[in-house]
Amino acid sequence: MTAQKSVLTPAGLRTRAIIVTIIAALAFCVVYYIFITTSSGQRVDEIAFDGSALGRTRLWRFADPILDVVSVGFVVLVLVGTATVAILRQRWLLIVQVGIVMGGANIATQLFKYFVDRPELGVFGTAGASPGMNTLPSGHTTVAATAAIAVLFVSPPRFRPIAAILGAIYAAGTGVSTLIGGWHRASDVVAAMLITLVFAGLALLLDRPRTRVVTGDHIAVIVLAVVGVLTAIVSIWALISIWQGLGTDPTYNLVGNRSGLTRRDLLTAYAGGALGCVSVACAIVAAVASLLQRRGD
């Protein structure tokens, strides 16, 4: 199913790109504020992390190969591959845009982790090397998400739907795998994806709409949007459920005191965090794919 769509004007494309960038940046700030600077947010995040130990032995067989893909060699391969496609399509600007997305987001992730500390609010779990060490955003997730978006940028319209679906699956799979392995908290993964969307929006500011063309199938965007909304609903429900069950003691310590935490609580928080990662992965890919479809090629 294809449709002839009118491309956006340059001003229209820039306006939508700016809106996407601002929303992503604000969402990142909200995630940071709730899950890093508040004791309740840290506790919910840590409970989800604690719950990730459930079934780890079995699930790690699937997560480990996914995480092993992320490496310097992988980044180079994606950069070379996307640049080659851009050259073959004679779309030189795409090389710059891929550089902004992959370079900008990954550098920003490492700088944020290095310069921003995680405040010690009495929530001492097992994520990270020390209570004050900041693990937000997830570096592995940023690499995976930027790779997915980079491929989406250079894909011709007819291949963009499948690139969107596979990209969302890969980004979400990598993010959830870091939870399974006990490498990151859910907020780390979500923050990484939002940083990716910020730089994708900035890259789109450089773009210019082309000609009126058949832009491809919108089913991929619709599917991602539906999956994103459904998983977000379940994730928010799980978050609220665990949040309401928290005690009022700000020094609540997950390692030393699990009173009131049942296996069901841990599983609910874990599933909620994982589905939140899936939801945001679908959202960022759908947002970029939607703008690219209206850009024209």
Q: pLDDT per residue over 87-104, tens digit each?
A: 999 899 999 999 999 999
Tokens found for residue 37: 């600077």
Per-chain mean pLDDT for the chain:
87
Does an H or E element contain 213, and which? Answer: strand 213-214
Per-residue pLDDT tens for 31-52?
Answer: 999 999 998 899 899 899 989 9
Please enumerate in sequence order all residues whose Cβ is within 8 A of that of 208, keeping only pairs 6 or more positions apart, or say none: 10, 13
Amino acid 122: pLDDT = 73
Q: Name the residue among 86, 80, 37, 34 with its Cα closest to residue 239.
A: 34
d(CA 162, CA 157): 10
Confidence of residue 280 (pLDDT cuts 50, 70, 90): very high
Amino acid 210: pLDDT = 62
Highest mean pLDDT among 7-11, 19-23, 240-244: 19-23
Tokens found for residue 62: 């699937």
d(CA 94, CA 92): 5
The better pLDDT of the pair 186, 255 is held by: 186
pLDDT for residue 255 is more than 50: no
Tokens found for residue 57: 């032995």
Q: What is the mean pLDDT of residues 275-290?
A: 96
pLDDT for residue 128 is more than 50: no
d(CA 45, CA 55): 18
pLDDT for residue 105 is more than 70: yes
CB 254 within 8 A of CB 125: yes
> Domain spans of the chain?
4-295
Amino acid 261: pLDDT = 74
Tokens found for residue 134: 């900041």
Tokens found for residue 20: 């996407």
Per-residue pLDDT tens for 80-89?
Answer: 999 999 999 9
pLDDT for residue 189 is more than 70: yes
Q: Name the residue among 204, 150, 175, 123 with its Cα closest to residue 279.
A: 175
pLDDT for residue 227 is more than 80: yes
d(CA 186, CA 188): 5
